């Protein structure tokens, strides 16, 4: 009997410890594809399947902008002017996209939407920045007023069949730090002049929800110890 009591005491102690600790495992979250074509378009934006193309090419300055079939077939909309229009469209104050006083944004294009997110949710998309410019044009991502530069001309080191240079396809990941509604935007801007073109390709956008916690509840632990205790008790009675 004393052995059984000692075992019972130990079992209760172990159970109490396990029940007091939260043993949590991550339930793998399923990524959800995003239809970028449903986002609000600002400026020179074209949707080609699951890829969105944005350009700084205005109708006045398109001589250097190639139009190969199916790759960059724009609808003819002009980029919007900076100093208010492009910034406001993505939730920024006028001038927020300027590099500095002497490197101001002249024009640009963007797509934008609002996303409801939980803390830890992730937004992911592939992008490629292309340019013919020598000024510091760049592509950007913005979420609730916080700007992240994806790339500028210094990052475009690969020869391109469409432009002079490109970054090549890369993947951007953004984790939402807090739960709430976010205005997000992705765009490309022309710095310093409007004589040469830069562009941004975006594809394979998706959201990945934060993993749902699966907790080992005390009831499950209790059930396991209950089986052990019953077997011990049955064995004791059989011996008696």
Q: What tokens appear for 122 in the block?
A: 């992730």
Q: What is the CATH number of the domain that holds 112?
A: 2.60.120
Extended strands (E) in 4-159: 24-27, 32-33, 40-42, 44-48, 51-55, 80-81, 105-117, 122-131, 138-143, 146-152, 158-159
- Stated as kind and residue range, the H or E segment containing 229 is helix 218-239
| Number of compact structural domains in the chain | 1
Q: Is residue 74 part of a domain?
A: yes
Task: Compute the distance between CA of residue 86 and CA of residue 109 in angstroms, rounded to an integer.
Answer: 7
pLDDT digits (tens, 9 = 90+) for 133-163: 888 899 999 999 999 999 999 999 999 988 9
Q: Is residue 176 part of a domain?
A: yes
CA distances from 128 to 10, 52, 71, 110, 118 (A): 61, 11, 13, 14, 28
Q: Is residue 79 part of a domain?
A: yes
What mean pLDDT is reported for the chain?
A: 77
Task: Compute the distance between CA of residue 58 and CA of residue 42 in angstroms, rounded to an integer.
Answer: 13
Q: Is residue 221 part of a domain?
A: no
Give me the pLDDT at residue 172, please: 98
pLDDT digits (tens, 9 = 90+) for 29-79: 688 999 999 999 998 898 988 899 999 875 443 434 444 433 444 444 577
Q: Is residue 70 part of a domain?
A: yes
Q: Is residue 50 part of a domain?
A: yes
Q: Is residue 232 part of a domain?
A: no
Alpha-helical segments (H) within 111-204: none
For residues 88 and 233, is the Cβ–Cβ distance under 8 A?
no
Mean pLDDT over 96-125 rounds to 90
Using left for φ > 0, alpha for ψ between -120 and 50, and beta otherwise, residue 141 falls in: beta
User: Does the pLDDT at position 112 exceed 70?
Assistant: yes
Q: What tokens appear for 79 in the block?
A: 């980029």
Q: Is residue 7 part of a domain?
A: no
Q: In the structure, what pLDDT confidence band is assigned to residue 240 with cuts at 50, 70 and 90?
A: low
pTM comes to: 0.72
Range of the domain at 38: 29-213
Residue tagged 């002497």 (tokens): 102
Q: In the structure, what pLDDT confidence band is assigned to residue 27 with cuts at 50, 70 and 90?
A: very low
């Amino acid at each position: 009997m004393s052995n059984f009591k000692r075992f019972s005491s130990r079992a209760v102690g172990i159970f109490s410890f396990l029940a007091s600790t939260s043993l949590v495992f991550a339930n793998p979250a399923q990524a959800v594809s995003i239809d970028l074509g449903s986002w609000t378009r600002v400026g020179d934006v074209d949707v080609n399947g699951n890829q969105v193309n944005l350009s700084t090419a205005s109708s006045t300055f398109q001589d250097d902008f190639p139009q190969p079939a199916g790759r960059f077939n724009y609808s003819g909309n002009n980029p919007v002017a900076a100093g208010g229009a492009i910034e406001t469209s993505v939730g920024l104050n006028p001038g927020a996209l300027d590099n500095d006083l002497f490197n101001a944004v002249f024009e640009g294009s963007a797509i934008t939407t609002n996303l409801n997110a939980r803390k830890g949710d992730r937004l992911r998309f592939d992008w490629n920045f292309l340019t013919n410019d020598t000024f510091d044009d760049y592509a950007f991502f913005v979420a609730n007023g916080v700007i992240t530069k994806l790339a500028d001309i210094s990052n475009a080191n690969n020869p391109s069949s469409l432009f002079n240079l490109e970054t090549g396809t890369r993947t951007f990941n953004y984790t939402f730090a807090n739960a709430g509604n976010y205005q997000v935007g992705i765009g490309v801007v022309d710095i310093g002049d409007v004589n040469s073109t830069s562009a941004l390709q975006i594809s394979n956008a998706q959201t990945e929800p934060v993993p749902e916690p699966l907790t080992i509840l005390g009831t499950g632990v209790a059930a396991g110890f209950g089986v052990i205790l019953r077997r011990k008790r049955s064995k004791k009675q059989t011996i008696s």
